[in-house]
Amino acid sequence: MKFTWFNLMPWPHLPEDFREKHRSVWVDIPSSLYDPKKGHEVYNTYLDQLEYADSLGYDGIGVNEHHANAYGLMPSPNIMAATLARRTSRAALVVLGNSIALYNPPIRVAEEFAMLDVISGGRLVAGFPVGTSMDTNYAYGTVPALTREKYAEAHELIMRAWAADEPFAFNGRYTQMRYVNCWPKPIQAPRPPVFIPGGGSIETYDFCIENDYAYSYLSFTGYKRAQLLMDGFWDRVDEMGADRSPYRAGFAQTICVAETDEEAKELYAEHVNYFFNRCLHVYPGYGDAPGYRTIKTIKKGALSQYTRSSLGALGKLTWEELVADGHIIAGSPETVVEKMKELITGLKVGNIFCLLHVGNMTNEKTRLSTRLFAEEVMPKLQNMWPEWEHDERFWIHPMEDARQTSVPLAATGGAE
Amino acid sequence: MNNLTIESRMVDIGTQDRGRAPVEVCEAGQGPDLVFLHGAGGLMPNDRFFLALAEQFRVHAPLLPGYGNSEGEDALKDMLDTTLHTGDVIDALGLTGAPLVGHSMGGMIAAELAALAPNDVGQLVLIAPAGLWLDEHPVEDLFAKLPFELPALLFHDVALGESLMTAGMDLEDPEFLAEFLIISARRLGMAGKILFPIPDRGLSRRLYRIKAKTLILWGANDKLINPIYGDAFAAGIANSALKVIPEAGHLVNQEKPAALVDAIATLVNAG
């Protein structure tokens, strides 16, 4: 199993009446709600937590990309990963990912990812999302019906740039370059492991399976709701004649660990409520720009979380209902181990993106939950897929004798 | 009103061997030929404006790929592709030179065509056309609207809008909704290639090329594209006149079909 500690980096200071006063946490949320001086504390606390996760033995630490979004404060995940590359020396840097349709020219991604891989000694996991409609179409202005072909072209350019030993010309519809010449190149040759976030577009299944990329379902609705979608993925794996390595797939899960089930509710319920009520308050008109999904995917009816009216209803659920329906996995280490086993075997996934910071959770609580998961839960989940123990296609291959960077602040105990 | 019915046929645009799909053309009426280019919402069922036009003209309304049975939208990536495709369709119909009428997105395509091929378009009618952008009067974002928000955005008479836009729809029926989602994604997916995120593909730099005698029509209460854009089109097209229709919104053609047809007939009959 590979556990990646993931922080969405939400803005923790959304007002009580946010839902009533504003229609969306994303795209048109007024930036007057952001306070840069408080933001200084927020960013540094979140980065400390990622370093702390590295020190506790998580396999990966994860960052992602969103725009005009108050629950995801990382317009540039590569800046975050760059700070982590210098202050950690063991965990994979899971950048999930760069929305390659939004970089002009997208060779920029090949270059920056290569820089991260080189600085970190070969610890980069390279994520290539198509990007949500909110980010890609509404916030960044990409034409919805052309998003996927722009993405495909950018992907081709990046992979060719990494693989090539000589400059070459690239005549695309969206990018034309007379001299494609990627300096530096990544340590992990010909490419770092690639993760593709997906939300139910069936074209993405095939793309991952054909290229040995890990399909990563980043849902906020929990593992029980994910069953149909992940079954669809594994059916497609079988149809295409690929092997069933669990490392082909990953899942993001909100997890809250305390000493007891009761304590979990007491400590974390308010923060979970903040997440579902304020962070996921997205105006449905931004959910799915017409043309963003292919007709084939719409016909299949397996649409992402944002198109379901049920998402808005999550904020109304009680703690007990959220736990019972698997939207969150919460409780004592024993409870969490049992539920995690259900998730891992049910969805057949080898990669878990652990959402252990939730909403406006305080630093102390985040570290408690993070430590308990690392010490009491992770060790009991290590041997879930013994037959695939040596499958190295989907994870990092750091160089030997990479430089050990300075001891992270978090490991000195300074912030605890 | 006579008992006109709208007929539809598939027209080969002569390039099937290059992978271009035939297009659906809706037609009705007797009289001089006239080409109508629909807006981003497509033709309505028993379209009131179409039928009113057909009382005086032989109306030919090609459906843009992505609309109705017209396919091949994947091959159309941008404004030039779309404009040339429309020109090809009009050519295939043998209607080059016929009066050209376009509403909203269709008005944008008509204006582009008249600018691109100024000697092929003699009479041009632009009904609340898209295609320009004024920072002081941003066009509303049609692509971030929920279905229930549309009547108030598109109509002066919101009750009329609601009854027209939901005619024949059962929004409680999941199967209908699924079908509606597909139709809407096809249509607006195509429309987005020339309208998203800002409906400006450089037309302002080309308006001067239009030689056609041009009539610009606008609903006085257009909440999608402010009627002030009518002045911008009139200023950009040499031989043009603007007529603002009171008590009408962006779908002025559905709200005031008779007034529009009168104005169009006057233009066409003046030769």
* Chain A interface test: which of B74, B80, B143 (most A C-beta within 10 Å): B143
Task: Please give the span between the terminal C-alpha atoms of chain A, in angstroms, as a whole number.
Answer: 28
Q: What's the CATH number where A351 sits?
A: 3.20.20.30
Work out the percent of chain B whose per-residue pLDDT is above 90: 85
**Taking the complete model, does pTM exceed 0.80, yes or no?**
yes
Given an 8 Å threshold on Cβ–Cβ distance, is B144 in contact with A293? Answer: no
Q: What is the least distance, in Å, from the CA of A142 to any CA of chain B?
A: 7
Count how many pairs of residues, chain A against chain B, have C-beta atoms within 8 Å.
61
Mean pLDDT of A290-302: 81
User: pLDDT at position A155, please?
Assistant: 98
A355 is in which domain, residue-wise?
A: 2-412
Kindly report, residue by residue over A13-33, the tens digit of the pLDDT: 999 999 999 999 999 999 999
Within 8 A by CB and 6+ apart from B247, the residues are B156, B157, B220, B221, B255, B256
pLDDT of residue A408: 55
Tokens 């091949």 correspond to: B72
| Tokens found for residue A218 | 């980043």
* Summary mean pLDDT of chain A: 93
Of A145, A293, A301, the CB nearest to B192: A145
Burial class (CB in 10 A: 0-12, 13-18, 19+), A19: middle
Does residue A232 sit at the B interface (CB-CB below 8 Å)?
no
How many CB atoms sit inside 10 A of residue A87's CB?
18
Q: What CA–CA distance (Å, rounded) separates A19 from A23?
A: 7
Least confident of A10-24, A84-98, A287-301, B194-208: A287-301
Residue A412 has pLDDT above 60, yes or no: no
Asked if residue B1 belongs to a domain, the reply is no
Question: Contact, B102 vs B95, CB < 8 A?
Answer: no
Give A-chain residues touching B185 at CB under 8 angstroms: 290-291, 293, 295, 298
- ipTM of this complex prediction, to 2 decimal places: 0.92
- Give the angle B162-B165-B169 at the CA atoms, nearest 5°: 105
**Hey, is A129 helix, strand or coil?**
coil
Domain limits for position B144: 7-269
Whether the CB of A296 is below 8 Å from some CB of chain B: the reply is no
Give, rounded to a whole angstrom, the gap between the first and last alpha carbons of chain B: 26
Q: What's the pLDDT at A407?
A: 58
Residue B173 has a pLDDT of 75
- Distance between CA A232 and CA A202 in Å, rounded? 9
* Residue B128 is assigned to a structural domain of this protein: yes
Residue A304, pLDDT above cutoff 50: no
What is the number of residues in chain B? 271
3-state secondary structure of B245: strand
pLDDT at residue number A307 = 42
**Residue A305 confidence (pLDDT):** 40
Q: Do the chains contact at A295 and B186, CB–CB below 8 Å?
A: yes
Per-residue pLDDT, A411: 54
Residues of B with Cβ-Cβ distance to A283 under 8 angstroms: 144
Residue B190 in this model has a pLDDT that exceeds 70? yes
As a residue count, chain A comes to: 416
Read off the pLDDT of each residue in B220-231 and give the average, rounded to a whole number: 98
Residue A92: partners with Cβ closer than 8 Å, 6 or more residues away: A2, A4, A59, A60, A61, A123, A124, A125, A395, A396
What's B180's domain CATH number? 3.40.50.1820
- Give the number of other CB atoms < 10 A from CB of residue B172: 7
Give pLDDT, residue A295.
85
**pLDDT at residue B16 in the model:** 55
> With 90 as the cut, is the pLDDT of residue A376 above it?
yes
Q: Mean pLDDT lowest for which of A64-73, A206-215, A406-415, B24-33?
A: A406-415
Mean pLDDT across the stretch A389-409? 85
- Cα–Cα distance, B55 to B249 (Å, whole number): 23
**Subunit contact A144:B143, Cβ cutoff 8 A:** yes
> How far is the alpha carbon of B98 from chain A, nearest alpha carbon, in Å?
32
| Whole-number average pLDDT of chain B | 94
Q: In this predicted structure, what is the pLDDT of residue B147?
A: 85
d(CA A344, CA A326) in angstroms, rounded, equals: 13
pLDDT band at A415 (very low <50, low <70, confident <90, very high): very low
Pairwise CB contact (< 8 Å): B193 & A284: no
Mean pLDDT of B241-248: 98
Q: What is the pLDDT of residue A410?
A: 54
Q: How far apart are CA A232 and CA A230, in angstroms?
A: 5
Chain A stretch 78-137, residues whose beta carbon is closer than 8 A to a beta carbon of chain B = 137
Residue A388 scores a pLDDT above 50 = yes
Beta strand spans in A227-337 (E)? 249-257, 328-331
Residue A255's DSSP bridge partners are: A329
Residue in the block written with tokens 């249509």 = B187
Tell me what the mean pLDDT of segment A403-414 comes to: 60
Q: What is the pLDDT of residue A136?
A: 97
Q: Which residue has the higher pLDDT, B14 or B230?
A: B230
Which residues of chain A neighbour B193 with C-beta distances below 8 Å? 143, 145-146, 291
Domain count, chain A: 1
pLDDT (0 to 100) of residue A138? 98
- Please give the tally of structural domains in chain B: 1
Tell me which residue has tokens 């500690």. Answer: A5
What is the pLDDT at residue A202? 80
Place of tokens 């300075």: A406
The pLDDT value recorded for residue A306 is 39
Domain annotation covers residue B2: no
